[in-house]
Amino acid sequence: MLTRAKTFQMAVVLIAALLPACADAEGFDTEHIFAFMIGADVGTLGEREFQTETTGRFGRSGGTYRAVGQELELEFVPFRNFRIEVGSTFASHFISGVPGIDDQRRLSWQGGSIDFRYRFLDRESGPFGLTFATELHGHRVDETTAESVRSFGTEFRLAFDRELVPDRIIAAFNLLYEPEWTRVVGSGLMEKDSTAGAALGVLAQVRPGFLLGGEARYLRKYEGIGLEELAGQALFVGPTAYFQLSKASRLTASWSIQAWGRPAGSTASLDLVNFDRHQARLVFGVNF
């Protein structure tokens, strides 16, 4: 874990040193500066972007667990304050000796998604920014177990953001709820579960085009979609860095570690049954 943290820090310093000196220092565009969260900005009218999002999840309650998802996304802003994103995801799993999960070594197309965001409040003219986002996704491979499934889920998210120090420090807060329906191929049984949580992120502009800070997420996993039977809970914390590579391209990098967690009915200090030990995300985007 220490080696991975040092590698992340070295990468941040190296990329920051290579940033162009002409990057725009005025204002924030919070649409993409966070990794596991979202800001309230949705882009400008007519804007088009291509984005790649690589997410790695590592460590479960024993054995070896590695899962990497690669999502390719197209984003459009057809109307003021309204954004549409269409995505397709490929997944790679290596699972060996993890209790409760069959061994897997698999690379496959996981599924697709569509995301809608509408900004109700602009922080430039209001007390804070406020955006409602909903994502619909369908999966043919379970993101945790790598089993062949027919899965459908929806994520609802409220995003707030506000500049704590003008042009220097920005904070964002998210509330989320994600119900999901899953049927394993070959089985007539439909499983229902849901995740709810809150997240807080703060970034400071270290130099023009380079933001550094962190994100903290508290997540609760439930059996069923009614938030009634708690399965487990976890707190993730870690650093986030944003790099404006050019006027048209950007890079966001984040690493989160489960700092605390507990499965339902247990006294453990981590929940490695319902959640991962480590999560990492790298997002690259370009306007066209």
CATH number of the CATH domain containing 257: 2.40.160.40
| Phi, psi angles (nearest 5°) of residue 9 | -65, -40
H or E stretch covering 283: strand 278-287
Helix, strand, coil shares of the chain, percent, nearest 5, are: 5, 60, 30
Give me the amino acid identity at 231. A
Q: What contacts 260, CB < 8 A, 6 or more positions away?
A: 234, 235, 269, 270
Of 208 and 24, more confident: 208
Alpha helices in the chain (DSSP H): 2-17
pLDDT of 6 higher than 60: no
Stretch 261-284: mean pLDDT, rounded?
Answer: 97
Q: Mean pLDDT lowest for which of 17-31, 69-83, 108-122, 218-232?
A: 17-31
* Cα–Cα distance for residue pair 195/216, rounded to 1 Å: 16
The pLDDT tens digits of the residues spanning 123-163 come to 999 999 999 999 999 999 999 999 999 999 999 999 999 99
Residue with token string 């027919």:
150
DSSP state of 264: T
**Residue 287, strand partner residues:** 49
- The number of angstroms, rounded, from the C-alpha of 21 to the middle of its chain's C-alpha atoms is 29
Q: What are phi and psi of 72, to 5 degrees?
A: -110, 130
Query: Exposed, middle or buried: residue 6 (CB in 10 Å: 0-12, 13-18, 19+)?
Result: exposed
Residue 201's domain comprises 2-287
Q: Is the pLDDT of residue 228 over 90?
A: no
Q: What is the mean pLDDT of residues 214-239?
A: 96
The burial class, CB within 10 Å (0-12 / 13-18 / 19+), for 283 is buried
The answer to whether 102 touches 147, Cβ cutoff 8 Å, is yes
CB atoms within 10 A of CB 159: 26
Res. 10 pLDDT band, cuts 50 70 90:
low
Contacts of 116 (CB under 8 A, 6+ apart): 82, 83, 84, 85, 133, 134, 135
User: Beta-strand (E) ranges in 97-185?
Assistant: 104-121, 129-141, 148-165, 169-184
- Of 225, 226, 147, 221, nearest to 183 by C-alpha is 147
Write out pLDDT tens, residues 186-223: 888 899 999 999 999 999 999 999 999 999 999 999 99
Number of domains, the chain: 1
Question: Percent of the chain having pLDDT more than 70?
Answer: 91
Closest CA to 100 of 58, 134, 137, 60: 60
